[in-house]
C-alpha cells in the first residue's frame, strides 16, 4: 500500500480532506458525486420554494420563465460532469422539476425536456468540443483515439472506448460522453466540421426521438 502524499506550504503541513468545493463543484477523494448531488438538491429546493412564494399569484408564462432562469440553472451547473447514474439520485433531481411543473403548468407533466436528456445533450456537446480541438478541452481531446476497427453500424468518427472495472470509472464523464458520441447516427456527425449549436440541434432531435 502506497503512503499518502503530503504537501506543505511554508513549512506548514496542509491537512488532507475527503472532499472540497472547487468552482462550485464538490470533488471527493473517491471520485463519487454523491456530495455534489445532495448539495445541488438542497440548494435547488431553496430556490424553487423562494420562487413559488414570490410568484404565487403569477401567470404560467411568468412561472415558466422563473423556473428556466432561476431554478433549472442550479440543477444543471456542471451537470454534464457529475450526471448521476444511481436511480435514487436521478429521482431526487427529477422531483424538483416535477414540483416546478405542477407549480407553473398546474399539472404533473409539462413540455419541458427531461433533465436526463438535457444532461446527455450537454455531454455530447462537450465531447464535440474536445473532438474538434477547442483549447479549453485540449487535455481531453488529445487523449481521444480512433478504435482498432469499425463495424458496419459504426460511423467514421467513432472514438475508442475502454472497458472499466468499477462503476465510478464506467459512469465517468469521459466514458459516458464517448458512448453517447458513438451512438449518434452517422448523418448527425456527417455535418462536421460545424458550429456547436448546429450539432446541438441535430443531436437534440435524435435524443427526443429515442
pLDDT tens per residue, range 85-107: 999 999 999 999 999 999 998 87
> In the listed set 63, 87, 112, which residue is the last one of a domain according to the structure?
112
Measured in whole angstroms, the distance separating CA 90 from the mean position of its chain's CA atoms is 12
In a domain, 36, yes or no: yes
pLDDT tens per residue, range 127-169: 999 999 898 899 999 999 999 888 888 889 999 988 888 999 9
DSSP 137: G
If DSSP codes are grouped into helix, strand and coil, which group holds residue 40?
helix
Q: Are residues 46 and 63 in the same domain?
A: yes
Instruction: Indicate the number of domains in the chain.
Output: 2
On the question of pLDDT at 1 being above 70, the answer is no
Q: Are residues 106 and 137 in the same domain?
A: no
In a domain, 5, yes or no: no
CA distance 210 to 204: 10
Q: Are residues 93 and 144 in the same domain?
A: no
Question: pLDDT at position 5, please?
Answer: 73
The set of cell numbers assigned to 25 is 463543484
CA distance 43 to 27: 17
CA distance 207 to 209: 5
Prediction pTM value: 0.87
CA distance 72 to 115: 9
CA distance 90 to 115: 9
In a domain, 23, yes or no: no
Amino acid at each position: 500500500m502506497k503512503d499518502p502524499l503530503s504537501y506543505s506550504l511554508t513549512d506548514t503541513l496542509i491537512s488532507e480532506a475527503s472532499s472540497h468545493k472547487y468552482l462550485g463543484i464538490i470533488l471527493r477523494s473517491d471520485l463519487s458525486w454523491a456530495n455534489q448531488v445532495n448539495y445541488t438538491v438542497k440548494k435547488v429546493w431553496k430556490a424553487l420554494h423562494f420562487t413559488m412564494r414570490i410568484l404565487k399569484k403569477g401567470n404560467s408564462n411568468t412561472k415558466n420563465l422563473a423556473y428556466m432562469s432561476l431554478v433549472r440553472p442550479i440543477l444543471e451547473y456542471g451537470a454534464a460532469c457529475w450526471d448521476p447514474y444511481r436511480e435514487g439520485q436521478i429521482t431526487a433531481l427529477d422531483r424538483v422539476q416535477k414540483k416546478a411543473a405542477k407549480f407553473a403548468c398546474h399539472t404533473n407533466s409539462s413540455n419541458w425536456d427531461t433533465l436526463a436528456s438535457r444532461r446527455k445533450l450537454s455531454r455530447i456537446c462537450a465531447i464535440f468540443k474536445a473532438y474538434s480541438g477547442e483549447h479549453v478541452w485540449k487535455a481531453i481531446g488529445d487523449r481521444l483515439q480512433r478504435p482498432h476497427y469499425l463495424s458496419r453500424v459504426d460511423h467514421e468518427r467513432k472514438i475508442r472506448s475502454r472497458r472499466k472495472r468499477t462503476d465510478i470509472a464506467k459512469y465517468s464523464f469521459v466514458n459516458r460522453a464517448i458512448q453517447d458520441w458513438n451512438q449518434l447516427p452517422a448523418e448527425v456527425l456527417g455535418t462536421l466540421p460545424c458550429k456547436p449549436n448546429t450539432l446541438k440541434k441535430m443531436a437534440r432531435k435524435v435524443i427526443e426521438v429515442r
